[in-house]
Amino acid sequence: MIKRFLSFPRQQIVWSILLACLFASGTAHGQRQVLDRVIAIVDDGGILQSEYDAREAEMIQRIQEMGAQMPPPEQLREQVMENLIVENLQLQMAERVGIRFDDDTLNRVITDIAQSNGMTFDQYVNALDSQGMYLETRERIRKEMSINEVQRGMVNRRISITDQESENYLNSEAGRSAIAPDYMVEQIMIPANDNVSESMREQRLELAESVTERANNGETFATLRQELQQQGIAVSGGGLGWRKADALPTLFASVVPDMRIGETHEPLQSSNGYHVIRLNNVRGDEGRLVPQTEARHILIAPNEIRTEEQARRLINELHQRILDGEDFNVLARQYSDDNMTVVGGGDMGWVNDNGFPPEFGERTSTLPVGELSEPFRTSFGWHIAEVTGRREQDLSRQYRRQQAENALRNRKFELELENWILELRDEAYVKYIN
């Protein structure tokens, strides 16, 4: 499906903690001695003195920041070594099973971290580089991703969820709360506070009504927001993510449950201005039909050996070859850079409407079934796409069942992770070197 070409699933990585660790380790790194040595053999790998020094300094800094009591030196050393041993074992396993992340995936993760800190990718990289920490940070992120992937794969296979467990959960109070509908809402807020004149307020209301009409006629919020900003209007807003009704702003919560998927509501007034909201999707709501699109695509991404111009020329060539009668599936398997869809001939499967990345979805939302798109650019590279089907699907029962399994799996995961790590450690060969 599309997941590989979009992004790596990152929900299990606590980036705020990771960032603190990275900066701490960078401080220690600056203090490392030139000479290094192996201080422990761990199966087929080893732990270096420099790794220990960096991790110890990192742990000390975190303890100090928490205001906790510092453990005795021997206890601290034991804890640091055990952490490094377990980490080393998991990285070795990741290597054995072929878990690797390419530069593009790492760059997308770093971009997310940068944005969460109010920075662009380049700004974040430059900040790290100025402290001599960029390469170390990048490697640390790669290791964290590898470890999380190993844990997810190894632990999940140890967890089983029976149908009866799911039913019991769904009938419990916690289950009923968890499966309450989630709403995906997007908004544009057109400012009109109490300080503006009455005539300006009327103009802004008319503008909000125009935005509502255009959105209901198929224009995207991203396009409308950009147009208003270009006109010098300080609009705000964006996607709110998946939220239950009681987690929505009060102004929205009163109308969203009664909206249809894809509907844009008439402007809502607050003390700050006029809010135009669109219900992009609903999940977990009995009887709701979800529009879905089936599509396939070919992705040609610029890289170290392919320039932007070469990528553009290649996608244009493939576009023409398909128009001339060559098989889309065959060409996708030969040329596409989307690793998750290449084997299936570019097939992305059925995706809920508004489930594509905005820049990709804008091109496919109005594309007739069976018609090949013109080549277009996204942040991932150059694409050609074809919509192969559209439907409405009732996913309520499927979603409820999945919600129950996810909740039960999460409950069991930490315990099984702890058990798996203990087993991994017990079976390992470890030799300390003085």
Residues 251-275: tens digit of each pLDDT? 898 899 889 888 999 999 888 889 9
Of 3.10.50.40, 3.90.230.10, 3.20.20.30, 3.30.70.890, which CATH number belongs to 290-394?
Answer: 3.10.50.40
Residues 295-325: tens digit of each pLDDT? 999 999 998 889 999 999 999 999 999 999 9
Residues 359-368: tens digit of each pLDDT? 898 889 889 9
Q: Which amino acid is located at 427 in the chain?
A: E
**Residue 228 confidence (pLDDT):** 87
CATH code, residues 181-283: 3.10.50.40
Phi, psi of 294 (to 5 degrees): -105, 130
**Residue 235 confidence (pLDDT):** 82
141, two tokens: 């992120």
Query: What are the start and end residues of each CATH 3.10.50.40 domain in the chain?
Result: 181-283, 290-394
Where helices occur in 157-278 by DSSP H, the ranges are 163-170, 173-178, 198-216, 221-230, 250-253
CATH superfamily of 8-156: Porin chaperone SurA, peptide-binding domain (1.10.4030.10)
CA distance 36 to 49: 6
**Residue 32 confidence (pLDDT):** 47
**Residue 78 confidence (pLDDT):** 94
Residues 25-56: tens digit of each pLDDT? 444 444 444 468 999 999 999 999 999 999 99
Instruction: Calculate the average pLDDT of the chain.
Output: 85
pTM for the whole structure: 0.49
CA angle at 197 for the pair 193 and 199, rounded to the nearest 5°: 115
Stretches where the chain sits below pLDDT 50 are: 1-34
**Residue 46 confidence (pLDDT):** 93
**Residue 395 confidence (pLDDT):** 64
Query: What are the start and end residues of each CATH 1.10.4030.10 domain in the chain?
Result: 8-156
291, two tokens: 């529009």
423 close to 151: Cβ distance less than 8 angstroms: no
Residues 210-219: tens digit of each pLDDT? 999 998 888 8
